[in-house]
Structure 1
């Protein structure tokens, strides 16, 4: 299938293959070494070579070291020719300190898959807006470090295969809230981080997007407030479709007599574009899926829901080998 519109991101990093070195970075909150090593062990079982700087476990307040340390770590991983992909250790908070100091030209000169979610959203959208395809997906201490934390199918298909990717979701996986089909640029991330970017030089760009939104531990009225803010700010005027994540634990602590889906529909249904709910990428219970940001995609919201994305990586080098499940010993 040929897509009718151009992608936002035109720089496709080389595909990630087993045997490649995966650089691990901590650009936000501090991390624990045992969780880091557990995630590294999973990457090794999948056939990769995990690599990190010893300074990754440094702490400064609640951050993974100083601003200078975190900027230098990112620069090093992008510049190092042995590193074939960069996966964040965790999110938390702190990426917004780095953006004014990161040299975008140097990062784009050495394109490679960059993977993360949560607070990493601001890095994903910033890099994508500058032309690099990025990847919303599992992180080392949060997902690789636990059994069945990643969705191996999308990891292999999106990051390791230079061809279009298509998946049909069962009604139990993704719910159709407003039926229809749309084509656009897949893009988005954690809703609270996207809302926080408003009014800054790093404000996210929603033109002609299939907008993926997810979050964790936000009450329904808080989701309502953020969606309403973005609607009033005009951020949804040219959005082609919406896809929500699991929205993990986004409920009132003592129960409620309405659903989050009803809250979402009150705001988005009048826009007359497709809306789906439940795609497991980002903050999820298990099997974190990889979504490529910046590529063209087609979303069909019906029963079932289908998502097709154009190739997100360029053909890699070396002979492809079979990946192993990270949960297997």
Structure 2
């Protein structure tokens, strides 16, 4: 078996009141919190100036809250769940404070609250992990280069025939089953809008779109047709997605989440434990892989339960849910 679920499946106890919180659980348990600004000002190490900067930098409330948690954990090495509960009580968020306290103690009073339990999964060997990392990084680099060519080709097409933009936006709206979402959108705006709907693992939208509009486009340096290169790349991603290691990752995740679909409110946290530290860009590509393995329609709700940590270190929580707000 290529992935271990904590010696098959082992459910670990949740956090203690004096434990350092992770971003994933903060995001999950503080989801009902609406007035995050005054709450944030009550967290040790966070100032009103910090809150104002976070509020100005992000338009999404969920993104603002996640940035608050990240900022707090970065400036407060002694942060604990007790600090969270105290800050909530100061702001008279007594019900939420009590719910979190009871979830930590293991007997939540609200039926839709997470129990705080966690299930660990990890690659069986360091070599397996390194092989998956290598495949992910190579695919990501290849797709980045391809997308540069694709964007350039579309820019040139629309520049030479401005009316083509209407056909492109109409095609995308039909493909995505949208109504007037791209009306009057420029080409750059169009690509920004569709960006959440493709990535280096699931690139069907870009491939299909290019097959329609870029059939005659070639790479200027080597004469290769862009569409042919995209089709070859898609075959590589499919081969990777159906490889044994990814298949076992998929099956391991499925054993955890499938009994909690469609209601994920009681799903345990899933801790993806890595043998070695990965840098932030590699963590992101791993998160994209996991994101693509969850069922359609439940990407965001399930990704909020994912934490990634490094073996032999304290858990390093990453904000994987924040990457996929538009998924």
Instruction: Give TM class, smaller chain.
Output: under 0.3
Length-normalised TM-score, structure 2: 0.26
Name the larger-Rg structure.
Answer: 2
The structure with more helix, counted as a fraction of residues:
2
Length-normalised TM-score, structure 1: 0.26
The structure with more strand, counted as a fraction of residues:
1
